[in-house]
């Protein structure tokens, strides 16, 4: 990977194991909009980014060197060697190969803790387009305007302080439904420092999940997603309906198993890279509708 700063733009050359579209659309992140093929607007860390990919080059428009080095390089996980991750995962597992090869350009984004926490509380029992809609609405109502592209305005996800301005009814106005008190509870936990990001990052994934699950509305699946996507625990293996389907289909001969059984199999089988395996499998299984009863393909 080589980085060029040209005028107001940053251009990354010789990208490996990275596809912008796959990385945005794979279901880990909800704060972005597709502008065109391989072209996206997104928001993270209080900044707005307009990015486009062509072959092994990515253009970050109107981005300074400092911003790239401080935010986007880390956000896209560009410092990590995904070749090593893939060979580790595929070394003794042929069942994973097709998922990794089809979803070859997925990287696990390093997202902000608070936004990840609230976003995945929202995600329960919802489809991705609607989660995106709610995240955009909360950002619009409580966050700061950051910029616009393709006629779409982007607002930063509110800080814990900003979101504390919303009471439960106001959160319901954002179409969060029965999750409104959950979000309210989570905001209180963060603002009252009942949970602290700094501590969650260093206490280990088991303790981290346990603390997150003290929040009403955060169960095992959401706690795993927050640990993986928002706190850097790459060994976390969240099990949702899709992972359940594809794991049962690939590793359990189609037999029914509990989420807990599937998670402990994933943790043991994929080890320190469980989160990556999970994401390849999730995106692949969902795209191919693997394990779904009324298959359309």
From the list 58, 117, 205, 222, which residue makes contact with DNA (rule: CB under 7 A)? 222
With CB under 7 A as the contact rule, which of the stretches 6-14, 15-23, 71-79, 119-127 interacts with DNA? Answer: 119-127
From the list 2, 6, 129, 169, which residue makes contact with DNA (rule: CB under 7 A)? 129
In the complex, minimum distance from the CB of residue 282 to DNA, in angstroms, rounded to a whole number:
4
In the complex, minimum distance from the CB of residue 36 to DNA, in angstroms, rounded to a whole number:
19
Nearer to DNA, 60 or 171 (CB): 171
Judge residue 276's burial from the number of C-beta atoms within 10 Å of its C-beta, 0-12 exposed, 13-18 middle, 19 or more buried.
buried
In the complex, minimum distance from the CB of residue 60 to DNA, in angstroms, rounded to a whole number:
23
> How distant, in Å, are the alpha carbons of 83, 123, 235 from that of 178?
42, 12, 30
User: In whole angstroms, what is the distance from residue 52 CA to residue 142 CA?
Assistant: 28
In the complex, minimum distance from the CB of residue 46 to DNA, in angstroms, rounded to a whole number:
23
Measured at the alpha carbon of residue 127, what is the angle toward residues 122 and 131, in degrees to the nearest 5? 40
Nearer to DNA, 50 or 244 (CB): 244
Q: Could you tell me which residues come within 8 angstroms of residue 81 by beta carbon, excluding any fewer than 6 positions away?
A: none
Strand partners, 13: 2
SS (H, E, C) 167-230: CHHHHHHCCCHHHHHHHHHHHHHHHCCCCCHHHHHHCCHHHHHHHHCCCCCCCHHHHHHHHHHH
Contact 260, 268 (CB under 8 A): no
From the list 89, 190, 218, 290, which residue makes contact with DNA (rule: CB under 7 A)? 218
With CB under 7 A as the contact rule, which of the stretches 14-22, 26-34, 162-170, 189-197 interacts with DNA? Answer: 26-34
Q: Can residue 267 be called a binding residue for DNA (CB under 7 A)? A: no
Phi, psi at 41, each rounded to 5°: -110, 140
Q: Can residue 158 be called a binding residue for DNA (CB under 7 A)? A: no
From the list 10, 110, 123, 139, which residue makes contact with DNA (rule: CB under 7 A)? 123
In 3D, which of 253, 249, 282, 247 has the Cα closest to residue 266? Answer: 247
From the list 4, 95, 165, 178, which residue makes contact with DNA (rule: CB under 7 A)? 178
In the complex, minimum distance from the CB of residue 191 to DNA, in angstroms, rounded to a whole number:
19
Q: Can residue 278 be called a binding residue for DNA (CB under 7 A)? A: yes
Residues that bind DNA (CB under 7 A): 26-28, 123-131, 133, 172, 175, 177-178, 213, 216-223, 225, 238-243, 258, 278-279, 282, 286
């Amino acid at each position: 990977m080589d980085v060029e700063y040209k005028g107001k733009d940053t251009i990354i050359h010789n990208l490996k194991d990275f596809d912008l579209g796959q990385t945005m659309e794979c279901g880990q992140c909800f704060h972005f909009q597709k502008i065109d093929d391989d072209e996206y607007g997104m928001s993270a860390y209080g900044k707005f980014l307009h990015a486009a990919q062509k072959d092994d080059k990515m253009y970050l428009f109107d981005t300074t060197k400092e911003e790239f080095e401080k935010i986007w390089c880390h956000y896209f996980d560009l410092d990590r060697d995904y070749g090593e991750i893939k060979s580790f995962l595929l070394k003794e597992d042929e069942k994973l190969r097709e998922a990794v090869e089809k979803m070859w350009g997925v990287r696990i984004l390093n997202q902000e803790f608070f936004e990840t926490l609230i976003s995945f509380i929202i995600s329960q029992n919802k489809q991705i387009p609607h989660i995106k809609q709610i995240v955009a609405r909360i950002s619009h109502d409580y966050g700061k305007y950051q910029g616009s592209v393709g006629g779409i305005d982007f607002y930063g996800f509110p800080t814990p302080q900003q979101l504390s301005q919303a009471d439960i009814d106001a959160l319901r106005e954002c179409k969060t439904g029965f999750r409104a008190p959950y979000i309210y509870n989570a905001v209180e936990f963060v603002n009252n420092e009942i949970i602290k990001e700094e501590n969650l990052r260093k206490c280990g994934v088991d303790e981290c999940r346990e603390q997150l699950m003290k929040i009403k509305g955060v169960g095992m699946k959401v706690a795993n997603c927050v640990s993986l996507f928002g706190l850097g625990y790459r060994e976390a293996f969240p099990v949702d309906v899709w992972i359940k389907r594809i794991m049962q289909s690939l590793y359990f001969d189609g037999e029914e198993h509990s989420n807990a059984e599937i998670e402990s199999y994933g943790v043991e089988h994929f080890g320190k890279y469980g989160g990556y395996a999970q994401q390849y499998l999730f995106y692949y299984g969902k795209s191919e509708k693997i394990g779904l009863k009324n298959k359309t393909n």
